[in-house]
Chain A
Amino acid sequence: MTQRQLDPDKIDVILATDCGSTTTKAILIQKVDGHYRQTHRGEAPTTVEEPVADVTVGVTNAATEVGELAGRKLVDENGEIIRPAQGNEGCDIYISTSSAGGGLQILVTGVVEEMSAASAKRAALGAGAIVLDVISSNDRRRPHEQIQRIRELRPDMVVMAGGTDGGTKKHVVKIAELVAPAKPRPRFGGKYRMPVIYAGNQEAAALVADTFDESVTLSVVENVRPTLERENLEPARDCIHDLFLEHVMAHAPGYNRLMDWTDAPIMPTPGAVGNILRQIAERNGINAVGVDIGGATTDVFSVFDGVFNRTVSANLGMSYSISNVCAEAGMPSVLRWVHLDMDERELRNRVKNKMIRPTTIPQTLEALVFEQAVSREALRLAYLQHKEFATTLKGVQQQRTVGDTFSQLSSGQSIVNNMTLNLLVASGGVLSHAPRMEQTAAMMVDAFEPEGFTELAKDSIFMMPHLGVLAQVHPTAALEVFERDCLIYLGTCVAAKGRGKAGKPCFRYEIEGPSLREQGEMAVGELKLFPLGPEDRARVKIEPRRGFDVGAGSGRPVEKEVRGGTVGLILDTRGRPLVLPEERTTCRQAVATWTQALGLYDD
């Protein structure tokens, strides 16, 4: 890996690639009129598998395509990226992310599942990994079952945590004594020494080291849970990234060469996405949620009050996992979002067809409506899982007063609060490639149920991974491109929290902007869309009725400036939590009304 000293002011052309499981996506970022803009994009099949078995071939192909589109020679005769940029040739920096070959897969261990093990899992997920399993003292498996499980898995690395500093040694060593004889086998290479990161009780580190032989590479980092009141994930995350490059990538086909090409460490794709979302939230002082719905998995990222969380819902996706979505949510739950008359048997066939032919895209209106209904449920379930995971720390001593007699809230409450959510970013095929932006917005609003004022945006060409890794070497360029080219703002959703009888008044609204001036009252159960262009802003005043809250408390008015977008301003009085009528005909009528209000499909 070449670690050149880079002068940010002298960087004009940036090439970034994301090596996915199936395609390698390349983007070109150039300085235009003093601002960094994403100018061209190309893609090529990933070549990590046989017969090519060299990831750089796919990278070169994608870079060549971008180069051709840009009229710029990026790859030389030897198939290498040309650097630095000179005239119409080459780029100043080249960076890459990778999720090829299933991404980074980690086995996590800890003492108590909800405490140290949860912290270790958060560190692994935050680093962009897929957590294969969590082994802990209280996971209700007998030791032989735990050993059996470790032997069955083929992780890229093991992250071990447990005990506060000065806490238990017995349990930590016990877990180490399960992992050591089980000798988890790596996915790549016979000479591969399994990287084990120990991020537990520092006083037990020597005992843990004694447990392992030379078949593993043990790295001891700071405790992820030095005390139960504090989490310290950064050292473990950094170590995961380092080992990802040193061990995992070094053994993947062609990655050694790719690492030499890049000017910044290769990051796991989800880790990079989380990185850029964290930076945006931090810079703008906002709470943000990002989602990436794929064929097999759905990633949810959130930053609330500066705390970053990521979850991977391994069985919620739109192609390989579509059957599981239907099974987990139930067909009636999926069908409630469909306003057309559909035969359930036919739909089941559609689901199975999509699973066995994952790359097909809907050809009829019915197929599109159904797929988008499934996506709503997949996103909803993934978000629920995320809410359950993104919690305050457990095992923390509470301070109470006599006033708390009847409201003894326990720790471990979710930190995800839709009312304080400012920005919701969507990416993934079904959201990014929906024929109409309104459909993307509708899917997001229905699945995530944002409350109060929430901006909706989508990642135009799934550029967030590239920008995440770019943010490490050139934050200015990354944030500029993120604002200007990465996000397509769909608009703002204003939704009232609370429940009421359909038809009863919910709130009064006044909208004042250069291009929009409206006022009126909305009843419970309505959706309204007002056109407000991407460059437009408007002041919106909402006066909710008692029992409804748009951010200032029940019945209290709120006035805010909202951003427009390709969809516009959505006013939603359907209530939160969103409950659809149970009776099928009534439900269809309601959904049809909302569909019409947002202009989702042609009549």
Chain B
Amino acid sequence: MTRQFSKQLHACRHAVLCWLLLAAMPPMLQADDPPAAPGSLSAVDHPNDVGNAIDLTWEPSPDDRPDVKPPRVIQYVIFRQEVDGDGEWLPVGEQTYGTTTYSDKQVERGHSYLYRVVAVSPEGARSQPAATTEPATPTMQWFRKDRAWFAIIVVFVCGSVVLFISLAKRGHDLYVRPIPGLEAVDEAVGRATEMGRECLFVPGIQDINDIQTVAGLTVLGRVATHIAEYDADLDVPTARSLVMTAARETVEASYLSAGRPDSFNEDDIYYLTDEQFGYVAGVTGKMVRDKPAACFYMGAFYAESLLLAETGNAVGAIQVAGTAMPSQLPFFVAACDYTLIGEEFFAASAYLSGEPFQLGTLRGQDVGKLLGGALLLVGCTVMTIAVFNPDGTAAAIAGFIKNHILGGAGFLP
């Protein structure tokens, strides 16, 4: 009896202990419970687009808190129902916990949609949904207002181009900074004339489809005009047959405009070879033999740049080079008397021709560059100040520049 009573007492103790243990572990007991539902959900048309997106915003579930460990919400699932459709709720996307926005980009312009968002626990239990009450309809906007600054800057730059072209056409004298390299053409041709030697013109080693070759031929026109006026001698070896043809026409036009068509000799412009170093050997050999007094290198150059320029320097020529190949510029600068650097080379045609269209475009581009430079300067200054005073006006301006004038919503793509 006593032994039986002891067994009963033990069983009773065991039951109390189990009950106490269960009472002490309520979460474990609630593990399959769904999390609390997210708060009010709103769906609006995505602004400044062609009507292919709807933006959703909701309040997080009360269980979606960083202090809850382990987290009770692992993600949100977004459902969509087309108002005029079959009434089915389709899952369209998921967002991780802590996120309360979503942009649905799988909608069709003009259709209306309702949305629901549910919070999901780590075990997969889903909360009650938060739902929109009003349908959202994606629509198209004609203007992207967020890119207004981009539009302002484009209009400003293009407007200045148009304005300067118009001013140039009306006879206003548009000042273009003298380019020493082009001013020196006179001097180089003069030297060749006084010394009774020829002027060598190398239009690069690329074909006519290279923009630098085209710019080089523009300069050749100017050089040839001077040579015709001075009655000096010209020598143009080319590395491409098409360049030779274009150069011949350019030079002939120059001699004609100088009033000396009889002095034009098409054999002065000739084809040498397409082979890079074969061409170099041919040209430098001629330089050493004939000792030209003026050498012009205008176009696209590669490894031959220094070979040509050094040979010209050694024979005592005044040398004027122009190229947009950054890697070759230092060689030309060091070995030549004058060098047209990159943009200068392209600006040369506008400078030389004096045509209103080209001059106006050149000036308009300069305005754009000036604006870019000014923004850069202001931006750097403001950002620097903002670092030292994060809550001041400078920080506000910096933010505005970053978010509105520049950045994804501004000038930059």
Q: Which residues of A line the B interface, CB within 8 A?
A: 111-112, 114-116, 137-138, 140, 162-164, 166-171, 174, 201, 225, 228, 394-395, 397-398, 400-402, 404-405, 408-412
Contact = CB atoms under 8 A, between A and B. Distances in A.
Contacts of A395: 187, 190-191, 194, 318
A136 to B, nearest CB: 10
Contacts of B334: 400-402
Interface residues of B, number: 29
Interface string B349-377: 00000000000000000000000000000
Contact of A168 (B193, B229, B316): B193
B337 A137 contact: no
- Interface majority SS (helix, strand, loop, mixed), chain A: loop
A401 B313 CA distance: 13
B183 interface: yes
B181 interface: yes
A163 B194 contact: yes
Given A112-B190, A228-B194, A397 B180 contact: no
The CB with the most chain A CB atoms within 10 A, among B196, B316, B334, is that of: B196
B194 A112 contact: yes
Interface of B: 180-181, 183-184, 186-187, 190-191, 193-197, 229-231, 313, 316-318, 329-330, 333-334, 336-339, 341
5 contacts: A114-B190, A164-B194, A397-B316, A398-B318, A402-B330
- Interface majority SS (helix, strand, loop, mixed), chain B: helix
A76 B329 CA distance: 79
Nearest to B312: A397
B232 to A, nearest CB: 9
Given A397-B316, A405-B339, A410-B184, A137 B195 contact: no
A171 B230 CA distance: 9
A168 B190 CA distance: 11
Contacts of B230: 112, 137-138
Given A140-B229, A171-B231, A409 B194 contact: no
Contacts of A116: 194
A591 B67 CA distance: 82
Contacts of A401: 333-334
B229 to A, nearest CB: 6
A497 B251 CA distance: 48
Contact of A115 (B184, B190, B337): B190
Contacts of A409: 180
4 nearest interchain CB pairs?
A: A168-B196, A112-B190, A395-B191, A398-B337
Contacts of B180: 408-410
A61 B373 CA distance: 75
Contacts of B341: 405
Contact of A167 (B194, B318, B329, B330): B194
Contacts of B229: 138, 140
A137 B184 contact: no
A171 B184 CA distance: 21
Contacts of A394: 187, 190
B193 A171 contact: yes
Given A402-B330, A405-B341, A162 B194 contact: yes
A561 B264 CA distance: 65
Nearest to B226: A138
A395 B195 CA distance: 10
Contacts of A137: 193, 230-231
Contacts of B231: 137, 170-171, 174
